[in-house]
């Protein structure tokens, strides 16, 4: 089955997410769609999958125009999609998820044929060696296993074109390799695979054809033999270096000391299992690891968002364990949360009010419980200028800002207090290259001002670029702390739980 | 209603539109749509001067476009939607009145021989109802004295008093992200405690009133504290707990009224002794008008709530927690504390609504003491978009509808329940501007604003 | 390729034993609550009743196959024994928690029966000839639970698809109204019974219109629709029905005892000697239980309520499903509304549902969004109401107003997580926007 997109355009209000995109996907090939975050890749695939209506252009399947009114039509035409955010119903079993939407039923009351669904899951699972139990409840499965369920779901519909949207974002390097092997296997069996990604390494590993998208437009195609530098400059529109310019670190005294920190979740399952490390003033400790291995809990435990059951956190000699968030923030911790829209900003508040979210009850913004709107405004204007927030004014709502500018607002707020420790989780997720460079620069600057810095990132490139030391987390523990020049394969194996000695 | 313009426009053009769909942030969507006031920012001051500032963010308009854009603004503005919503509700109410009219039905029997009869019967039914409503609520032009003419409006303000108090309480909750359905129970408990102060204690004039008012506030506050602490400690949803507490309060009051201490001497009905007059709000325009001091206390409370929400750090915290609890928590605010405080303040205000009844118009405790003020206040807070000024106007409007009950009964022979119909329709229509625009064939605004109710 | 082979050994580690859930403090809640209730029962009902008094219980009706005589028990001993049984069950529950064992559903049921028995013994003590009518009590529980069951099923059907239905009260009232009017107009209560769901469905349609099409907050719409229905029905009651008394008559539906089954003592009169609406209730619970969890319809509905985007990506029409379910839910509640008028032989009265819809909402939550759970919770509330009436007859030591609070208090405890944790459908209350 051959798929062709001609002049597909999709607009959101005044914003053109896809601008006259042409694309041809041949059967039995892997077609990589390469582009930065926000370039319009996912929008394009959602158009293709019938989730969005295109404003212009057409989609052809085997040369015939196909008008997909919804995902159902796309699936019927043989297109399957594994979304970046899995489309799995958590309390359902694997079999129920796989059968959903095209259930085999028995009798006049259309009772579910669960046995049939189980059989189908087992068939596909065995064919690719997935080891998925059809009766397992999805929410109990690991992220990697959930992704395999998604693939089973698509294949059970006899998909001839499989779209994988940023499939490796949540996988370890080794799981990624496994997935890429599956992709090759699928290709060899005649399936066309569209791989949406911004990771050059993966593209080079499996792609037969590469289409690069920037700012909603196709800016070129490339052969898999193209070098990383060539692809990268095509993707971002200029030559980029993946390294961050930073002077040698001058570590001082131990600023943060974490000792056998243990955190349980609501059900009593351990999320952190006795984590110990320290960070010195003037150094960046980057925490690497696949998402969901305790990084979030670690940062939140230091801040005091989640209660700890054992261990201690000491900042500059002062114990913070069990203290309220307000207290830890005011002791000199800056916190850039992983999910800025959820935890970092109040979308319905103005920029000015977002900038005082943590200090609204302190001088000079208020006195005796009364706010001083003029001070709030003038301080906000200063910050907006300093951090180069592109906005119509400090009264604009935070929700009106782009991701990069939202992140700048969060940074501006967190860096406006005198800091002993800066914790930044996924500080550049979803940002454009310009904002990434800005954020990196400010983080390094904070380090050079003498703060201890913890960076949590699932992007290995970012970790390597920023870190003075790298701590790798796996399964709620720190596997090891290694120097930043440790090679990728070693880091990858450590992210899967192997110790450095074993990994190397 | 200038606040309406500040509803959040949906960020339809997110730069990061690679981020798939609305399902990514289902929680957010829910929160933003729960927020009854819409965007919780920029409610900076109800002073007229501020509006000019907000234009800063908008696109510049050229002079030549001014006339057209002004027209557009009128047709698109929410104020128009509010007015049309009221018109549409009155029309539907009118249809119901026609359907229920005996005269219309009789004349319909011979419609084809004398159609005029039926049409005039229809007109009579509707016009007598709505003129009775107007006369009973705002201005009675038929009265033979000035005092008779303005008496309806004075009644309306009296009736609006509990609605203002309770509406303010609910409005604070809505803006702080709490869906408090419990004003009814809070009014009952406030009135109960206030009544106890009023007829059990005999304090000197002045002091007695103050203590009784505080008693009302305390009773409501206690009844607000319970769902607040339950939500903060266990996450129990306030919609459920407050509904349940309404019924508990009612049954509790019914139980109290069976006790000897609450029995009025010489009466077989479950009603308490009449409160000492020293504990009642004085009537401000003399004995011939029912309007009492409580109304002015309510206006003062409206100002106080405005100040609290817009000028105080506590209000900042309430609004932040309401708009995004997890970001507020990460910024060091205590969501639990905010929840409990908001519910206590909301309960205290609802308790004061009870004072409007027990210390104002009905100085004896019965199970009907709260009437339906607690539920009406929900519609008041919604219509007033949770803003103090809006709530005061909405309360006066709905207070007027309620006050017109006797006139409706006497002049038009209709039960007061038609008021509930009109009232609920107004709120429904205002919550769904696209529906109103569809009904009146208005153009869709350029930037469709998200429904914020 | 070599990397792939190497790597496959390092991934997907089996969860180690230390992953096993640690016993959290929460799990001790149940035994603690049971223990406290049992102790209160022992002190108040057991030790609080006078020695030497007796309580009479009557069970049979004359029409049963065989009759059991009214039996009389010593009040104090009975209450103490029942309370001790309850205490033993609480202890067993504590033991089960310490052993990380699960106790079956029977435990709270038997516990409840024991405490109720203690209460009845205490309340009926020393009343001489006045018997505690056990059969009457249970029959009352079943009958009074009818509108609660239909109402909570309405909630289940709506909320499983992601629409919060606060308008159950309005749907019940609309059903009660239309059933009375249509039944009276036609002179046939069964036609009224058919009309009732139509009225409820209309309210459901309004709910769907505003929540699905216009994205208005679902709680707001529900609350306002209740006011609207109260307004419309009360207005028409005060005009149309006042002027035309023949449109609002006391109709009744005959009981249809099921042959043989209805003759069994206790079970017969309690379950199998009712009018059509009660049997429809049994059917509704049974059919919905099966359909929701075993059929294609149910799978899709639950998917829409849990993860609408996922449902959409496999071609399920999310909003269409929600609209249909909201209307179906409205119809169910409307049918339940017929209980108040044609099925009880009563004329329509202003605001006659008096908050039943909110208790139904509570029953749905207590029943954890399952038809069977909703049934159990509704019957429990029905029992509480019947008990109140029964104690009113024998002259109870507990004021009826305080007893009337019981369902509401239980519900608050339930939502506060003190009676087990409930997880609502994940996408509940969130409009689905594409």
pLDDT at residue number B39: 42
Dihedral, CA of residue B229, residue B233, residue B238 and residue B244, to nearest 10? -70
Closest CA to C91 of C39, C169, C21: C39
CA-CA distance, A82 to A150, in Å (whole number)?
Answer: 6
- Residue among C123, C143, C131, C112 nearest C56 (CA): C131
The span from the CA of B349 to the CA of B220, in Å, is 7
- Distance CA(B425)–CA(B446), nearest Å, equals 26
Q: How far is CA C117 from CA B316, C81, C145, in A?
A: 54, 10, 20
Write out chain A residues lying below 8 Å of C303, CB-based: 89, 92, 100
Same domain assignment for residues A216 and A158 = yes
Please tell me whether residues C298 and C321 are part of one structural domain.
yes
In B47-114, alpha helices (H): 51-54, 66-76, 78-100, 102-109
Q: Please tell me whether residues A205 and A335 are part of one structural domain.
A: no
Q: How many domains does chain C have?
A: 2
Contacts of A175 in chain C (CB under 8 A): 7, 11-12
Question: CA dist C321 to B137, C165, C297, Å?
Answer: 44, 15, 9
One domain for residues A207 and A287: no
Determine, yes or no, domain membership for C271. yes
The answer as to whether A468 is a domain residue is yes
- Distance CA(A308)–CA(A323), nearest Å, equals 10
Residues of chain B with CATH 1.10.3470: 159-414
3-state secondary structure C101-153: CCCCCHHHHHHHHHHHHHHHHHHHCCCCCCCEEHHHHHHHHHHHCHHHHHHHH
For residue B5, the model assigns a pLDDT of 37
B401 contacts B353 by C-beta, under 8 angstroms: no
| One domain for residues A231 and A368 | no
Quick one: C239 and C327 in the same domain? yes
Q: Are strands A333-336 and C54-58 parallel, antiparallel or unpaired?
A: unpaired
d(CA A433, CA A233) in angstroms, rounded, equals 11
- pLDDT for residue A242: 57
User: Are A19 and A159 contained in the same domain?
Assistant: yes
Residue A141 lies in a domain: yes
Q: How much is the pLDDT for A243?
A: 66
Length of chain C: 434
Residue A306 located in a structural domain: yes
Residue C396 has pLDDT above 80, yes or no: no
Domain check: are C227 and C96 in the same one?
Answer: no
Q: Are residues A60 and A179 in the same domain?
A: yes
Residue percentage of chain A with pLDDT more than 90: 40
A180 and A47 within one domain: yes
* C69 inside 8 A of chain B by CB: no
What is the average pLDDT across A384-391?
Answer: 89
Chain B nearest-CA residue for A83:
B20
CATH code (residue A422): 3.40.50.300
Q: What is the mean pLDDT of residues C352-381?
A: 90
Segments of chain B with pLDDT less than 70:
1-77, 445-453
Cα A464 vs. chain centroid, distance in angstroms?
17
- Give the residue numbers spanning the domain of C258: 139-416
- Closest residue in C to B31 (Cα–Cα): C430
Of A40, A343, A349, the CB nearest to B18: A40
Q: Which of A71, A96, A173 sits opposite C299 (nearest CB)?
A: A96
Asked if A232 and A262 sit in the same domain, the reply is no
**Is the domain of A165 the same as that of A204?**
yes
Domain-terminating residue out of A236, A271, A299: A236
Of A341-345, B124-128, C409-413, the least confident: C409-413
Structure-token match 């018997």, residue found = C131
Average pLDDT for residues A389-406, to the nearest whole number? 87
C196 pLDDT above the threshold of 50: yes
Instruction: Give me the mean pLDDT over the C36-47 stretch.
Output: 89
Ranked by mean pLDDT, the top range of B79-83, C50-54, C123-127, C198-202 is: C198-202
Taking the Cβ of residue B114 and every Cβ of chain A, the question of whether any pair is shorter than 8 Å is answered with no
Tens digits of residue pLDDT in A301-334: 999 988 899 999 999 999 999 899 999 999 999 9
pTM for the structure as a whole: 0.84
- Give the CATH fold of the B159-414 domain: ABC transporter involved in vitamin B12 uptake, BtuC (1.10.3470)
| Element holding B434 (H helix, E strand) | helix B433-439
C129 touches chain A (CB under 8 A): no
> C37 and C108: one domain?
yes
pLDDT of C357: 93
Give per-residue pLDDT as tens, A38-95: 678 878 888 888 888 888 888 888 888 887 888 888 888 888 889 888 899 999 999 9
**H helix runs in A156-262, sequence order:** 173-188, 200-206, 228-236
Per-residue pLDDT tens for A365-374? 999 999 999 9
If one compares C98 and B74, the residue with the highest pLDDT of the two is C98
Please tell me whether residues A76 and A214 are part of one structural domain: yes
Instruction: Kindly state whether residue A247 falls inside one of the protein's structural domains.
Output: no
What domain range includes position A486?
A: 254-503
Residue C125 sits in the same domain as residue C153: no
Together in a domain, A283 and A176: no
CB atoms < 10 A from the CB of B354, how many?
Answer: 35
Q: Are residues A369 and A481 in the same domain?
A: yes
Cα torsion A333, A339, A342, A347: sign: positive
pLDDT tens track for A214-226: 878 888 888 888 8
User: Nearest Cβ partner of C220 from B415, B421, B453?
Assistant: B453
Assign 3-class secondary structure to A443-464. HHHHHHCCCEEEEECCCHHHHH
DSSP-based three-state secondary structure for B30: helix
Number of domains in chain A: 2
> What DSSP string describes B335-385?
HHHHHHHHHHHHHHHHHHHHHHIIIII--S--TTTTTTHHHHHHHHHHHTT
Residue A436 CB neighbour total at 10 angstroms: 24
* CA nearest neighbour of C327 among C129, C130, C163, C180: C163
3-state DSSP of chain C: CHHHHHHHHHCCCCCCHHHCCCCCHHHHHHHHHHHHHHHHHHHHHHCCCCCCCEEEEECCCCCCCCCCCCEEEEHHHHHHHHHHHHHHHHHHHHHHHHCCCCCCCHHHHHHHHHHHHHHHHHHHCCCCCCCEEHHHHHHHHHHHCHHHHHHHHHHHHHHHCCCCCCCHHHHHHHHHHHHHHHHHHHCCHHHHHHHHHHHHHHHHHHHHHHHHHCCCCHHHHHHHHHHHHHHHHHHHHHCHHHHCHHHCCCCCCCCEECCCHHHCCCHHHHHCEECHHHHHHHHHHHHHHHHHHHEHHHHHHHHHHHCHHHHHHCCCCHHHHHHHHHHHHHHHHHHHHHHHCHHHCCCCCCCCCCCHHHHHHHHHHHCCCCHHHHHHHHHHHHHHHHHHHHHHHHCCCCCHHHHHCHHHHHHHHHHCCECECCCCCCCCCCCCCC
Give the gap in angstroms from C-alpha A281 to the nearest C-alpha of chain C. Answer: 35
Establish if C214 touches chain B: CB-CB under 8 angstroms: yes
What ipTM does the predicted assembly reach?
Answer: 0.83
Which tokens sit at B347?
A: 């309960």
Q: Is A218 part of any domain?
A: yes
Say which CATH number the domain at C233 has: 1.10.3470
Q: Does C358 touch chain B (CB under 8 A)?
A: yes
Q: Which of C223, C235, C365 sits opposite B418 (nearest CB)?
A: C235
The answer to whether residue C256 is domain-embedded is yes
The single-letter DSSP state of residue B270 is: S
Chain-chain contact of A330 with B53 (C-beta, under 8 angstroms): no
How close, in Å, is residue B332 to chain A by CA atoms? 4
The answer to whether B336 faces chain A, any CB pair under 8 Å, is no
Count of A-C CB contacts under 8 Å: 130
Say whether both C272 and C376 belong to one domain: yes
Q: Which two tokens stand for residue A109?
A: 């009351």
The β-bridge partners of A7 are none
Kindly determine whether residue C22 and residue A269, on different chains, have CB atoms separated by under 8 Å: yes
B3 at A interface, C-beta within 8 A? no
- Cβ–Cβ of C412/B427 closer than 8 Å? no
pLDDT at B229: 94
């Amino acid at each position: 089955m051959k798929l062709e997109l001609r002049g597909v355009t999709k607009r959101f209000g005044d914003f053109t997410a896809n601008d006259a995109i042409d694309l041809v996907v041949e059967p039995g090939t892997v077609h990589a769609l390469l582009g930065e975050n926000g370039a319009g890749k996912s929008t394009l695939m959602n158009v293709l999958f019938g989730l969005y209506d295109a404003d212009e252009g057409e989609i052809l399947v085997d040369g015939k125009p196909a008008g997909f009114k919804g995902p159902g039509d796309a699936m019927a035409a043989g297109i399957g999609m594994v979304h970046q955010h899995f489309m799995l119903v958590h309390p359902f079993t694997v079999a129920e998820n796989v059968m959903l939407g095209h259930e085999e039923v028995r009798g006049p009351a259309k009772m579910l044929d669960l046995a049939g669904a189980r059989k189908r899951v087992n068939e596909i699972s065995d064919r690719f060696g997935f080891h998925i139990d059809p009766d397992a409840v999805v929410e109990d499965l690991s992220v990697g296993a959930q992704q395999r369920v998604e693939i089973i779901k698509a294949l059970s519909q006899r998909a001839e074109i499989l779209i994988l949207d940023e499939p490796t974002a949540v996988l370890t390097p080794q799981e990624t390799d496994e997935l890429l092997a599956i992709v090759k296997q699928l290709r060899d069996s005649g399936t066309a695979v569209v791989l949406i990604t911004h990771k050059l390494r993966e593209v080079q590993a499996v792609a037969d054809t590469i289409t690069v998208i920037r700012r909603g437009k196709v800016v070129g195609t490339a052969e898999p033999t193209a070098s990383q530098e060539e692809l990268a400059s095509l993707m971002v529109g200029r030559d980029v270096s993946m390294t961050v310019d930073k002077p040698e670190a001058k570590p001082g005294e131990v600023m943060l000391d974490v000792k056998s920190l243990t955190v349980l979740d609501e059900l009593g399952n351990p999320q952190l299992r006795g984590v110990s490390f320290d960070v010195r003033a003037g150094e960046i400790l980057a925490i690497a690891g696949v998402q969901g291995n305790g990084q979030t809990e670690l940062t939140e435990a230091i801040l005091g968002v989640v209660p700890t059951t054992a261990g201690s956190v000491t900042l500059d000699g002062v114990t913070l364990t069990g203290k309220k968030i307000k207290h830890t923030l005011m002791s000199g911790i800056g916190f850039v949360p992983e999910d800025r829209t959820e935890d970092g900003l109040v979308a319905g508040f103005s920029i000015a009010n977002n900038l005082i979210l943590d200090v609204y009850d302190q001088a000079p913004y208020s006195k005796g419980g009364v706010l001083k709107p003029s001070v709030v405004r003038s301080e906000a204007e200063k910050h907006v200028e300093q951090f180069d927030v592109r906005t119509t004014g400090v009264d604009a709502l935070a929700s009106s800002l782009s991701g990069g500018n939202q992140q700048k607002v969060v940074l501006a707020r967190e860096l406006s207090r005198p800091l002993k420790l800066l914790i930044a989780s996924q500080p550049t997720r979803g940002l454009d290259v310009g904002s990434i460079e800005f954020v990196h620069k400010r983080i390094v600057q904070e380090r050079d001002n003498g703060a201890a810095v913890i960076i949590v990132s699932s992007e290995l490139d970012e970790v390597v670029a920023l870190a003075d030391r790298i701590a790798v987390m796996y399964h709620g523990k720190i596997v090891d702390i290694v120097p930043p020049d440790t090679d990728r394969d070693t880091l990858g194996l450590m992210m899967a739980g192997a110790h450095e000695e074993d990994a190397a | 209603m200038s606040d309406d313009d500040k509803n959040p426009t949906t960020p339809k053009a997110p730069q990061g539109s690679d981020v798939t769909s609305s399902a990514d942030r289902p929680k957010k969507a829910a929160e933003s749509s729960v927020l009854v006031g819409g965007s919780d920012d920029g409610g900076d001051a109800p002073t007229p001067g501020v509006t000019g500032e907000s234009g800063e963010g908008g696109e510049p308009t050229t002079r030549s476009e001014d006339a057209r854009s002004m027209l557009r603004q009128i047709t698109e503005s929410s104020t128009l939607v509010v007015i049309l919503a009221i018109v549409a509700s009155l029309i539907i109410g009118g249809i119901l009145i026609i359907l229920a009219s005996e005269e219309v039905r009789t004349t319909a029997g011979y419609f084809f021989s004398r159609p005029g009869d039926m049409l005039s019967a229809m007109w009579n039914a509707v016009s007598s109802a709505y003129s009775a409503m107007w006369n009973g609520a705002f201005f009675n032009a038929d009265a033979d004295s000035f005092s008779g003419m303005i008496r309806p409006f004075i009644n309306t303000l009296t009736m609006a008093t509990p609605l203002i108090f309770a509406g303010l309480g609910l409005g604070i909750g809505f803006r702080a992200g709490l869906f408090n359905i419990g004003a009814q129970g809070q009014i009952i408990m406030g009135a109960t405690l206030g009544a106890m102060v009023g007829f059990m204690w005999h304090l000197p004039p002045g002091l007695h009133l103050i203590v009784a008012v505080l008693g009302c506030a305390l009773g409501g506050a206690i009844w607000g504290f319970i769902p607040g602490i339950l939500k903060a400690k266990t996450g129990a949803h306030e919609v459920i707990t407050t509904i349940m507490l309404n019924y508990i309060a009612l049954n509790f009051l019914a139980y109290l009224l069976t006790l000897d201490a609450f029995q009025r001497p010489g009466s077989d009905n479950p009603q308490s002794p009449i409160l000492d007059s020293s504990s009642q709000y004085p009537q401000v325009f003399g004995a011939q008008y029912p309007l009492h001091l409580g109304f002015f206390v309510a206006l003062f409370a409206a100002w106080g709530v405005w100040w609290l929400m817009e000028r105080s750090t506590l209000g900042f915290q309430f609004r932040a927690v309401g708009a995004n609890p997890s970001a507020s928590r990460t910024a060091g605010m205590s969501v639990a504390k905010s929840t409990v405080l908001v519910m206590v303040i909301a309960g205290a205000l609802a308790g004061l609504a009870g004072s409007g009844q027990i210390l104002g118009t009905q100085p004896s405790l019965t199970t009907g003491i709260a009437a339906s003020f607690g539920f009406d206040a929900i519609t008041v807070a919604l219509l007033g978009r949770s803003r103090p000024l809006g709530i005061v106007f909405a309360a006066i409007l709905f207070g007027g509808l309620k006050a017109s009950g006797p006139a409706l009964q006497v002049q038009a022979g209709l039960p007061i329940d038609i008021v509930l119909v009109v009232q609920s329709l107004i709120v429904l229509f205002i919550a769904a501007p696209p529906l109103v625009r569809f009904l009146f064939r208005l153009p869709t605004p350029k930037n469709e604003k998200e429904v914020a109710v | 390729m070599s990397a792939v082979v190497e790597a496959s050994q390092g991934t997907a580690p089996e969860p180690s034993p230390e992953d096993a859930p640690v016993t959290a403090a929460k799990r001790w809640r149940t035994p603690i609550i049971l223990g406290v209730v049992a102790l209160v029962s022992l002190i108040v009902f057991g030790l609080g009743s006078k020695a030497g008094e007796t309580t009479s219980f009557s069970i049979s009706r004359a029409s049963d196959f065989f009759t059991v005589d009214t039996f009389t028990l010593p009040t104090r001993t009975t209450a103490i024994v029942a309370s001790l049984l309850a205490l033993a069950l609480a202890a067993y529950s504590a033991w089960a928690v310490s052993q990380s064992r699960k106790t079956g559903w029977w435990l709270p049921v038997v516990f409840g029966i024991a405490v109720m028995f203690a209460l009845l013994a205490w309340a009926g003590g020393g009343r001489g000839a006045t018997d505690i009518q056990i059969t009457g009590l249970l029959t009352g529980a079943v009958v009074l639970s009818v509108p609660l069951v239909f109402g909570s099923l309405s909630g289940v059907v709506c909320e499983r698809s992601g629409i919060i239905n606060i308008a159950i009260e309005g749907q019940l009232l609309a059903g009660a109204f239309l059933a009375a009017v249509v039944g009276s107009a036609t002179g046939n209560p069964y036609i009224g019974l058919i009309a009732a769901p139509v009225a409820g469905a209309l309210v459901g349609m309004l709910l769907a219109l505003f929540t699905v099409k216009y994205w208005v907050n679902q709680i707001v719409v529900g609350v306002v629709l209740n006011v609207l229905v109260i307004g419309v029905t009360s207005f028409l009651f005060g005009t149309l029905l006042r002027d035309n008394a023949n449109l609002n008559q006391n109709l009744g539906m005959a009981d249809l005892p099921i042959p043989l089954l209805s003759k069994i003592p206790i079970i017969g009169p309690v379950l199998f000697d009712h009018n059509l609406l009660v049997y429809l209730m049994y059917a509704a619970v049974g059919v919905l239980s099966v359909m929701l969890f075993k059929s294609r319809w149910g799978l899709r509905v639950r998917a829409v309520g849990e993860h609408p985007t996922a449902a959409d990506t496999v071609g399920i029409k999310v909003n269409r499903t929600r609209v249909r379910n909201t209307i179906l839910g409205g119809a169910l509640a409307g049918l339940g509304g017929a209980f108040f008028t044609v099925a009880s032989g009563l004329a329509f009265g202003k605001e006659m549902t008096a908050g039943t819809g909110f208790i139904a909402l509570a029953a749905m939550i207590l029943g954890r969004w399952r038809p069977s759970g909703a049934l159990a919770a509704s019957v429990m509330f029905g029992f509480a109401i019947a008990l109140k009436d029964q104690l009113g007859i024998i002259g109870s030591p507990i004021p009826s107003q305080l007893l009337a609070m019981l369902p509401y208090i239980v519900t608050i405890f339930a939502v506060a997580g003190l009676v087990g944790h409930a997880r609502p459908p994940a996408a509940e209350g969130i409009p689905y926007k594409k």
